[in-house]
Chains A and B, each alone.
Chain A
Amino acid sequence: MAASSREHVLSLYRLLLKESKKFPSYNYRTYALRRVRDAFRENRTVEDPKVVEGLLNRARDSLALIQRQVSIGKMYEVQKTVIEQEEKKSD
């Protein structure tokens, strides 16, 4: 039971990060990645199954939200910000 739920959490986590990377806006993209990581890290030690279920539901809702907002961002895309050029240079 615990093993499959851990897999479940990890797959949700990976999905959230994968979707967040698609944000065209630098600020939204970095925020989503950061916030998802920090939220999962913060709740790493939660045991109570009810709380875990609640958190996972929130995660699923966030995933859908991110997907919608990524689409909107792509529809109204603009030029990149100065810092993204800098990131490319350093990579």
Chain B
Amino acid sequence: MNRTLSRKLLGSMCGISSPRLSFAQSAVNTVQRQKELIKSRELEKDELRPLYMDFQATTPMDPRVLDAMLPYQVNYYGNPHSRTHAYGWESESAMEKARKQVADLIGADPREIVFTSGATESNNMSIKGVARFYKAKKNHIITTQTEHKCVLDSCRILEAEGFDITYLPVRNNGLIDLKQLEETIRPDSSLVSIMTVNNEIGVKQPIKEIGQLCRSKNVFFHTDAAQAVGKIPINVSDWKVDLMSISGHKIYGPKGVGALYVRRRPRVRIEPLQNGGGQERGLRSGTVPTPLVVGLGAACEIAQQELEYDHKRVTVLANRLVQKMMSEIPDVVMNGDPDQRYPGCVNLSFAYVEGESLLMALKDVALSSGSACTSASLEPSYVLRAIGADEDLAHSSIRFGIGRFTTEEEVDYTVEKCIQQVKRLREMSPLWEMVQEGIDLKSIKWTQH
């Protein structure tokens, strides 16, 4: 069992970086089978639930949010756009209250908030909307290589429509180069889209400086702030942001709702994606889901109240996790800048250990290697590739998410189990054996047998 597993690990470790196709194919098959093992299992009746350490994928709803939503699911079920009766009026009033709560969190005016079905829709709306509206005079869009899939995919679609897109590279620490951004902006650039906090490595971009730059060059600035809202202080006027995407289920709110901040002064015009009855200033037609937006509003208000308390706690817990991990086992790399980051998203690469194997071994803890929306593919995360992570290290990365509800015990348990499993998997790895003997892996010429 030991020998076969170590050969499989060896295959998957070096097979993928080897040019020999059939060797690589068998390694890919191994990883695929292992992935299927992870995918297919729901918990048994009395099986204990794993610890939740994947707060970037989604967050549990805060009980206060559920409490705010329930009346609108049970009794106050009116359509907020019904103008002729109390059901409509009370629903509309709840919707406007929620709008103010969202606006207050980011320092905006309530009239600048549009409710959507989530950050993906908000991203689509802003990028496609701005690009298509200003199409006549401006044809160029700038984004980064580490953006969320929905941003990259929207840009891809625009490329097919004839737009010119520049995907800015990032430095090894995950941050963009401001000089390079400045040089990339052209007179015909209509939009710059750069996310505030990255969902895979937790890196925080210099949004204030980017906003300043874009304002000076007369280019609209959109930021996907799904992972940043309610976690770090945000002020759209301070930052000179023109469009901002917000997601409900990343801030302990309900799934299926989000918002888009659209600046009014100076006015940002967007071509609507969803047409219909003209709701939400004509930018997003469709009945606004009152219970969901009430939840989003409550989540934003709670986040504003708890921001400092949560941030302090999360920082302490994250430091605890990283210190313990790095002091007990060697060859652990943290991906992304150590300072310019949101502490609650820790992405670690464990050398000489395969990421999926480690996840399988840590079945008591809910973790992820890379983002949830790319976990179906076998490729290592494109974000890790963009920051120049070694191919092998990219395959060995795990993302630890720490949030409002994480306890010290959960962190200690996770760290202990992780250290245990990394040591066990390394014992089985022939690569680790070679490294212990002092062999430089980069100097080896791999042959197939």
Residues of B contacting A4 in the complex (Cβ-Cβ under 8 angstroms): none
Decide if A68 is an interface residue (CB 8 Å cutoff): yes
Report yes or no: B407 in contact with A30, Cβ–Cβ below 8 A.
Answer: yes
Residues of B contacting A30 in the complex (Cβ-Cβ under 8 angstroms): 405, 407
Decide if A53 is an interface residue (CB 8 Å cutoff): no
**B75–chain A nearest beta-carbon distance, Å:** 14
Decide if B404 is an interface residue (CB 8 Å cutoff): yes
Residues of A contacting B43 in the complex (Cβ-Cβ under 8 angstroms): 79
Decide if A82 is an interface residue (CB 8 Å cutoff): yes
Residues of B contacting A7 in the complex (Cβ-Cβ under 8 angstroms): none
A14 to B48, CA, bound (A): 31
Q: Tell me if A's interface is mostly helix, strand, loop or mixed.
A: helix
Report yes or no: B52 in contact with A27, Cβ–Cβ below 8 A.
Answer: yes
A76 to B411, CA, bound (A): 26
A60 to B314, CA, bound (A): 28
Decide if B78 is an interface residue (CB 8 Å cutoff): no
Of A31, A69, A79, A84, the contact of B404 (CB 8 Å cutoff): A31
Of A65, A78, A83, A85, the contact of B64 (CB 8 Å cutoff): A65
- Closest A residue to B63 by CB, please name it: A69
**A55–chain B nearest beta-carbon distance, Å:** 13
Residues of B contacting A82 in the complex (Cβ-Cβ under 8 angstroms): 48-51, 364-365, 413
**A50–chain B nearest beta-carbon distance, Å:** 19
Report yes or no: B405 in contact with A81, Cβ–Cβ below 8 A.
Answer: no
Of A65, A80, A87, the contact of B63 (CB 8 Å cutoff): A65
**A2–chain B nearest beta-carbon distance, Å:** 28
A5 to B326, CA, bound (A): 50
A38 to B63, CA, bound (A): 18
Chain A, interface residues (CB within 8 Å), range: 20 to 34
- Closest A residue to B48 by CB, please name it: A82
Residues of B contacting A80 in the complex (Cβ-Cβ under 8 angstroms): 48-49
**A16–chain B nearest beta-carbon distance, Å:** 13
**A74–chain B nearest beta-carbon distance, Å:** 13
**B417–chain A nearest beta-carbon distance, Å:** 9
Report yes or no: B51 in contact with A72, Cβ–Cβ below 8 A.
Answer: no
Decide if A13 is an interface residue (CB 8 Å cutoff): no
Given contacts A65-B67, A81-B51, contact A31 B413 (CB under 8 A): no
A9 to B309, CA, bound (A): 22
Report yes or no: B48 in contact with A78, Cβ–Cβ below 8 A.
Answer: no
Decide if A47 is an interface residue (CB 8 Å cutoff): no
- Closest A residue to B404 by CB, please name it: A31
B60-101 CB contacts (< 8 Å) to partner A: 60, 63-64, 66-67
Residues of A contacting B63 in the complex (Cβ-Cβ under 8 angstroms): 28, 32, 65-66, 69
Decide if B331 is an interface residue (CB 8 Å cutoff): no
A72 to B109, CA, bound (A): 35
Residues of B contacting A78 in the complex (Cβ-Cβ under 8 angstroms): 49
A49 to B378, CA, bound (A): 62
Chain A residues in the interface with B (C-beta under 8 A) = 27-28, 30-32, 38, 65-66, 68-69, 72, 78-87
Please list the 5 inter-chain residue pairs (A to B) with the smallest Cβ-Cβ separation, ordered nearest first.
A27-B405, A69-B63, A82-B364, A81-B49, A82-B48
